[in-house]
Structure 1
Amino acid sequence: MIIGIPRETASGESRVSATPETIRKIVNQGHRVMVQSCAGVRAGVTNKVYEAAGATIGSASDAFGAELILKVVAPSDSELTLIKRGTVLVGMLNPFNNETIAKLAERGITAFALEAAPRTSRAQSLDVLSSQANIAGYKAVLLAAHHYPRFMPMLMTAAGTVKAARVLILGAGVAGLQAIATAKRLGAVIEASDVRPAVKEQIESLGAKFVDVPYETDEERECAVGVGGYARPMPASWMQRQAQAVHERAKQADIVITTALIPGRKAPTLLSAETVAQMKPGSVVIDLAAAQGGNCPLTVADQVVIANGVTICGPTNLAGEVAADASALYARNLLDFLKLVFTKEGQFDVNLEDDIVAACLMCRDGQVIRKNA
């Protein structure tokens, strides 16, 4: 089978969907890989390196003309015109965007969105959300350190002592836990909050203090358990108590990193404008939920704004700023997914009895398989 690796054209996207490591493995399985010229330059991979791994370098038309295309993000309208009917497309296609999936179906594309994979042990090796969120959590702390006008660690110098920065992390999923670990390495004093009680041990094991908001009803406890590794919307009564706890700690924090997301829904508000107004001048907010509306109403996607002396950053693709490692992890995720749709003989086969394949299949034969309300 001919597998195409196009160069990503989305604004600010520097990742690539295949690396020399994964291309060698794909070629060894009997497939031909067509890489668009300069597809990996922003991730530190040249055409010569791809060729040495066994790939053929071609044009955009060559890559998009392949039988199976591996992408980082969903193709643009102009890219769609280069894709033939019956082509298989695998990538992070935003499965909750019905318009995007409808366009793919209209073009007769068989599309798999890896973000839709179930959060199970078997699917961990192809969990693109986790692999990219891990990088985002790391980079978020470095971005905060860049904007924070003081040192992160405590320093004792001849000129006096510098206090350690106080960091508050809201949401302890993959990104949040990596942010805790990174901030700890930089010497910060860390507190973290999450609706799920199960993450308390993880938070404390990384050296942070858990901001505990007790549950008062069975409904609150049930919602806190979450679904598929994600938090569920919490009752208003609990949200009010958490908001008050966050408000008090944010006033004392130097850096706040918010990471809370609910798949397919607007991000919950965790840091109110009123709280930001009472934060210390010079403090920093990094809102990792900016692409889904933000955890703070003052966040502007892909911009840095200053409100009441507080710097608020709304990055939507921090993983793309660590392009080499982000691409390496993502390419391995794709490779592990391909193992599920190729037989041992190298034939493409959609096995809908496989729960991962069935969950990721968005459209096929001109029909939308999964549509969100």
Structure 2
Amino acid sequence: MNALTVGVVKEAAAGERRVALIPDAVARLRDQGFNVLVESRAGTAAWFPDTAYAQAGAVIVTHAELYDQSDVIVAVRRPPTAGLAPGKVVIGMLRPFADPKFAAEAADLHVTAIAFEGLPRRLSAAQPMDALTSQDNIAGYKAAILTADSYDRFFPLLVTAAGTARPARVLVLGAGVAGLQAISTVRRLGAVVTGYDIRLEAQEEIASLGASFLDLGGPAAGAGSGGYARALDTGEQRSEQDGLAARIGDYDVVITTARVPGRRPPLLVTETAVKAMAAGSIVADLAAGELGGNVEMSQPGQTIVTENGVTVIGDDELAARMPVAASTAYSSNVRALLKHLVQDGVLTIDLADEIQAGVVVTHAGAVVHPLLAGTSSRGRS
């Protein structure tokens, strides 16, 4: 029986510095019987040179060779579909729910697309594979560091001979993985931090980190499925936006982290709210991407300064700014998922398995994920 060949693609997205497998993970996969191909310079932006992969037992190849010779292609973000032959397997954070056309295209190519976004996170067995959590954790940390660096004053209380500097007042909107990590890190940096989330259970989580909870008197419960907040109706959204707009001007730094997979992020911070902030304030929108963001004025991948002197940072891939830590964590997620999918050297798709039912988007020429099963591929009705 031939060993399964895993190919590590060089990320194509602008500004993406992560790599799907680091050299240590390659060595572990080799020990488990996998062949590993690595596209030339795939890890260079994360400070993992081709020589390190070669020493770990990988074969360095061109992009065309990788697509031709790999059974399974692993990526951080969606790799190019051009050149993918029928029967290939692609694993990554593919964003299929935000772009159903991708699922249709993959099905039309007879490619098996496996997306971390569909992982049933409530299952304890799925936790080692949870790439969204590992990357959100890093993004929340980076947001705290980035805003502290961008803020023109001190985060902690400082008492010096030159006078006393009050601590920065920071508001974190959304208490998921990224939000809680941001709260924790901001607290360690010495700022006074307040958290907000519409989910009732988040109030205790925020308080457990030593932060205050911002009570807007909004929906009694905003919990949805999968640990995410539910979508608010139009009236609830307007009430939330108005409540936040009345309070955001009290803070020096606002970090927003509210996302719902496959849907437009909730608009939390309006332009009016940003205009109410003092000059020198910072807003970081961790949801600013192709579907929009939490902040009305944010732009994906850009930092802008408003007319009233507020710096607005938009970036829904903030983990890519810490490529070593992010790639290391992501590698572990990839290895865990491969271990679950591959038995005795054979990758077998079994949609009766709850984990596979969540992550497998397309297989055998069909869109099989229940959230996308109605999607038609090109040439099919």
* Contact in 2 for aligned 1:98/1:372 (Cα 8 Å): no
Q: Secondary structure at the match of 2:79?
A: coil
TM-score, reference length from structure 2: 0.92
**Are positions 1:281 and 2:279 aligned together?**
yes
Describe the superposition over 1:248-267 as per-residue Cα deviations: whole angstroms up to 9, x where unpaired.
33111000001111222111
Write the mapping of 1:95-244 to structure 2, written as runs, cut at 5 A.
Answer: 95-96=96-97, 97-120=99-122, 121-214=124-217, 220-221=219-220, 224-244=222-242
Match of 2:45 in 1: 42
Describe the superposition over 1:212-267 as per-residue Cα deviations: whole angstroms up to 9, x where unpaired.
2345xxxx445x12211000112445444433442233111000001111222111
Match of 2:54 in 1: 51
Match of 2:377 in 1: none
Q: Distance in 2 between matches of 1:206 and 1:68?
A: 41
- How far off its partner does 1:155 sit? 1.0
* Contact in 2 for aligned 1:168/1:249 (Cα 8 Å): no
* Contact in 1 for aligned 2:150/2:282 (Cα 8 Å): yes
* Contact in 1 for aligned 2:284/2:312 (Cα 8 Å): yes
Q: Distance in 2 between matches of 1:325 and 1:41?
A: 14
Task: Extract unaligned runs of 5+ from structure 2.
Answer: 375-381
* Contact in 1 for aligned 2:93/2:115 (Cα 8 Å): yes
Counterpart residue type for residue 298 of structure 2: T
Counterpart residue type for residue 24 of structure 1: A
Match of 1:246 in 2: 244
- How far off its partner does 1:116 sit? 0.8
Match of 2:87 in 1: 86
- How far off its partner does 1:270 sit? 0.8
Q: Distance in 2 between matches of 1:50 and 1:264?
A: 34
Count residues with an aligned counterpart: 364
- How far off its partner does 1:170 sit? 0.5
* Contact in 1 for aligned 2:302/2:314 (Cα 8 Å): yes
* Contact in 2 for aligned 1:193/1:210 (Cα 8 Å): yes
Describe the superposition over 1:321-359 as per-residue Cα deviations: whole angstroms up to 9, x where unpaired.
10011011111111111112111x211211222111111
User: Higher mean Cα deviation, 56-65 or 314-323?
Assistant: 56-65
- How far off its partner does 1:285 sit? 0.4
Q: Secondary structure at the match of 1:133?
A: helix
Q: Distance in 1 between matches of 2:246 and 2:159?
A: 28
Q: Secondary structure at the match of 1:192?
A: strand
Describe the superposition over 1:164-207 as per-residue Cα deviations: whole angstroms up to 9, x where unpaired.
10000100100100100111111100011000010111111112
* Contact in 1 for aligned 2:117/2:261 (Cα 8 Å): no
TM-score, reference length from structure 1: 0.94
Match of 2:353 in 1: 354
* Contact in 1 for aligned 2:172/2:195 (Cα 8 Å): yes
Q: Distance in 1 between matches of 2:220 and 2:167?
A: 35
Q: Secondary structure at the match of 1:246?
A: helix
User: Higher mean Cα deviation, 58-67 or 242-251?
Assistant: 242-251
* Contact in 2 for aligned 1:117/1:123 (Cα 8 Å): yes
- How far off its partner does 1:81 sit? 2.6
- How far off its partner does 1:288 sit? 0.8
Describe the superposition over 1:248-297 as per-residue Cα deviations: whole angstroms up to 9, x where unpaired.
33111000001111222111111111111111111010011101311111
Q: Distance in 2 between matches of 1:75 and 1:106?
A: 16
- How far off its partner does 1:127 sit? 1.1
Write the mapping of 1:222-371 to structure 2, written as runs, cut at 5 A.
Answer: 224-291=222-289, 292-307=291-306, 308-343=308-343, 345-370=344-369, 371=372
Q: Distance in 1 between matches of 2:240 and 2:112?
A: 43
Counterpart residue type for residue 362 of structure 1: V
Counterpart residue type for residue 114 of structure 1: F
Q: Distance in 2 between matches of 1:145 and 1:166?
A: 11
Describe the superposition over 1:47-90 as per-residue Cα deviations: whole angstroms up to 9, x where unpaired.
221122121111112222211111111122xxx23322111111
Q: Distance in 1 between matches of 2:254 and 2:82?
A: 43
Counterpart residue type for residue 254 of structure 1: D
Counterpart residue type for residue 111 of structure 2: I
Tell me the percent identity: 40
Task: Extract unaligned runs of 5+ from structure 1.
Answer: none
**Are positions 1:69 and 2:73 aligned together?**
yes
* Contact in 1 for aligned 2:112/2:361 (Cα 8 Å): yes
Q: Distance in 1 between matches of 2:179 and 2:82?
A: 39
Q: Distance in 2 between matches of 1:21 and 1:354?
A: 29
RMSD (Å) for aligned C-alpha atoms = 1.6
